[in-house]
Structure formats: C-alpha cells, structure tokens
Amino acid sequence: MRFLFVILPIFCFSQNTITVNISMDTAANIPNPKVRVYQNGALVNTFTYLKVPHVYTYQQVNATYAFEPYFDSIPASMVDTVDWRSVASEAMYVDAPNGQRGLFLNSAQKFWGADVKEIKKLDMGQAYKILKKNYLSTVSRFTQSNLQYTVYSTHNRNGSTTQYGSYANSASDFDVMFNTANSNTVVHSSGTASPNVLFYFTSASTLVANGVPVPNNYDFYGIKITGTFIAKETGIYYFAIDGDDGVDCLIDGQVVTSFYGPHGFGGFRIGAKQMVAGTAYSLMVRMQEFGGGDGLSFAWRRPSQNSYSIQPEEIATATSSYYGPKVDWFKKETLDALTINNWGTAVPQTRFFLPVASGQYTLNLKYVVKGNAALSSPQ
C-alpha cells in the first residue's frame, strides 16, 4: 500500500486595514463625528467614530483612500455668547508655556514665562482669555451633478412667425421664443442629463438617443440648459460656444458669449469671466433651431489650461450649509507640533489622503471647535 502525501503551502494573508483615531484639542461634550471614505475619489463607505479606534478594512490594494470627517450637528448647548476682553486674535489653538491648550494667539502675541492662573491671568499681570472668543461661520458643500434641461416646441410646430421671428438674434429674442405665454411655444420635455450629452451634439438625434426627447422632426425647437457652475480655480475663465442656429451662454444672468442668428457651425465664439475658486455661479446655455441642420457645442478652459473641454466636475449642486461652531480638522501630528514660531503655518483640511499598497495603516486626526451658533446641517 502506498500513501501519497500532499504538502499544501500555507499562505499568510496580511489584514488590509486602516485604523482611524480621532481626538479633539479641548474638552467639550460633542456628538460622535462621522467619516466619509473615498476610494480613488469615489465614495465607498461612511462610518461613525465612537471615540475608540475605528478599524476600516479596505477592499482594494494599491489605491488611494481619503477620509472626510464631519458632524451632522453640534448641540446648541455649546453656543457661548459670553465674550471676555480680547487681547489676541483667534486663529489657532497653541500650547501655553505650562502645556495647557486652548489659547488663541496672533503672531504679535508673546508667551510670558509664568503659570496660568484660574483667574485667567499670568503672574506678570498680563490678562488673556482661554477658549472663549467665538464667531459665526458659513460653509457650503457642493457635489457633482447633472444639468437641467427644457426642450421647447417653437413656431407653432410649423414655422409660424406671427409671435416672434424665425431666429434668436439676441438674448431678449431667446426670452420671447422660450416664453410659454406665447401660444406658439410649448414645453415638449424636461429633465436632467449629463454635461457631456447636453453640451455637445451635432444632431438632435444624439439627444434623442440619450433620452432627451426633441419634437417636430428636429425642426422648430429650442433647448434651455441650466445648472450651477463651481469654479475650481481663481482667475479668468474662457467660455466657448458654437451651434446651429442661435446659441448663447449666460452666467449669473449676464451673456458671456453668443452666436446669434441663422447659421451652421462656424467656429467657437469666446467670452471671458473672472471667477473665484469654490464660488457658485448660475449657468444657462440656450440653442434654437428653425429648420435644416442643428446642434450645439459648448466648452470652457480654466485659467491654468490651454485647451477647451467639457469638465463635468465643475457642474454641481449645493447640498448643505451650516452655521458654526466651525470645526477645523488636522492630522494629529501637525496640530500637536505647533509652537509659537510655526502655529500659523498649519492649514485645516477637509479630506485626508492615504495611499495604500497592502497591509496595515494608521491615520491619526485631531480637531478644534470654534463658532457661536449650532450647526443646522452637516458640515
């Protein structure tokens, strides 16, 4: 009798985890923070931090994870309207000479070589305050989204010019042509679609193929596209438009670029606008077709760019806003390393990025609380 021994290799798999530790700079009775988890930029998880180390098991190796901490709300009991006499500007929490934390100091304020007394004075008689100066803060959060569209049937579906002309030769002509108080104009369809669908088509058949209904065998119609534009950069943006027939682009209600009247595609018409990063602007793009060919091409370039393209990440909607207390988040080692010489260099973050290969990682976060009104919605 023969025995066959098979030796199976034993594999040891390392546990792919990220341990998240969160602490706060000063004592306060505050709810547990929540954390959004992003994998290569896509939201994949949300968890509540229960004031003990949270072990997050990541699913993809060789990826970049980002952790975005926030609060649903902060109780009104934290609101403090008492204001002591200020001798320093609020800007950052720093260490006092005896290790106590929670002092607001500006770059002109100096430490005095004495102990902090309960009466909030230094031995040298220099009065100051601890963690009492509060202020109001407002923040908006934006998320990438689709655009809204309205497709109009115009010219009484048959080319009638009894209520307005054949073509939009100005912004006011567009206003009249798309006004449903005129019986020759009716709303044919409305909805939402991606910027890539709505901002570039050389035939209405492309719209129809992507779920945007167009009337009248693609004649005697118009489309109005609206959304919110969130600038990624500060500086001069350039917006480019072309189409068949009349087209225009309005930002915050003002025409930035246009190509009015009867024509086919003839090349981009360019307009410029100064914008501020993180600021929301209302965006409207219009196109109308009387007969024959039709289409629209709309694109833009940021101050740092040399070419035009459709950039959906700058089309967004506001999802929440809040009024303080404001919470500033830092990596723990950054906040704990502050001294009188470098505290002003620390910049709060909203997301903390962690590239991982495989195995175990640790992310230590710390936050400080400022403000004078309870949060009304997520930060």
Q: Taking the CB of residue 45, how many other CB atoms lie within 10 A of it?
A: 15
Last residue of a domain, one of 268, 295, 319: 319
Any idea which of 89-98, 144-153, 190-199 has the lowest mean pLDDT?
89-98
Last residue of a domain, one of 296, 319, 342: 319
pLDDT confidence bin for 144, thresholds 50/70/90? confident
Q: Are 255 and 163 in a shared domain?
A: yes
The arrangement of strands across the sheet holding 200-201 comes to: 200-201, 295-301, 235-244, 269-275
Q: By CB neighbour count within 10 A (0-12 exposed, 13-18 middle, 19+ buried), where does 24 fall? A: middle
Any idea which of 121-130, 139-148, 208-217, 362-371 has the lowest mean pLDDT?
121-130
Q: Are 369 and 257 in a shared domain?
A: no
89 contacts 133 by C-beta, under 8 angstroms:
no
pLDDT value of residue 28? 56
CA distance 300 to 311: 8
Cα separations in angstroms, 370 against 32, 110, 139, 349: 16, 22, 13, 15
Last residue of a domain, one of 133, 157, 175: 133
**For the chain, what percentages of helix, strand and coil (3-state, to nearest 5) are there?**
10, 40, 50
Instruction: Note the maximum CA span of the chain.
Output: 104
Instruction: Tell me whether residue 138 is in a domain.
Output: no
Structure tokens at 158: 């048959």
Number of domains in the chain: 3
Show the domain range for 125. 82-133
pLDDT value of residue 342? 66
Q: Kind and range of the H or E element at 320?
A: strand 315-323
3 state SS of 342: coil
Q: Are 250 and 171 in a shared domain?
A: yes
pLDDT value of residue 197? 96
Instruction: Tell me whether residue 5 is in a domain.
Output: no
Instruction: Tell me whether residue 352 is in a domain.
Output: yes
Q: Are 192 and 119 in a shared domain?
A: no
In this prediction the pTM is 0.53
Tell me: the pLDDT tens digits for 64-97?
A: 999 999 876 555 455 443 332 222 333 333 334 4
**Residue 350: which CATH number?**
2.60.40.10
Which of 273 and 326 is assigned the larger pLDDT?
273
Q: Are 122 and 106 in a shared domain?
A: yes
162 contacts 122 by C-beta, under 8 angstroms:
no
pLDDT mean over 199-204: 96
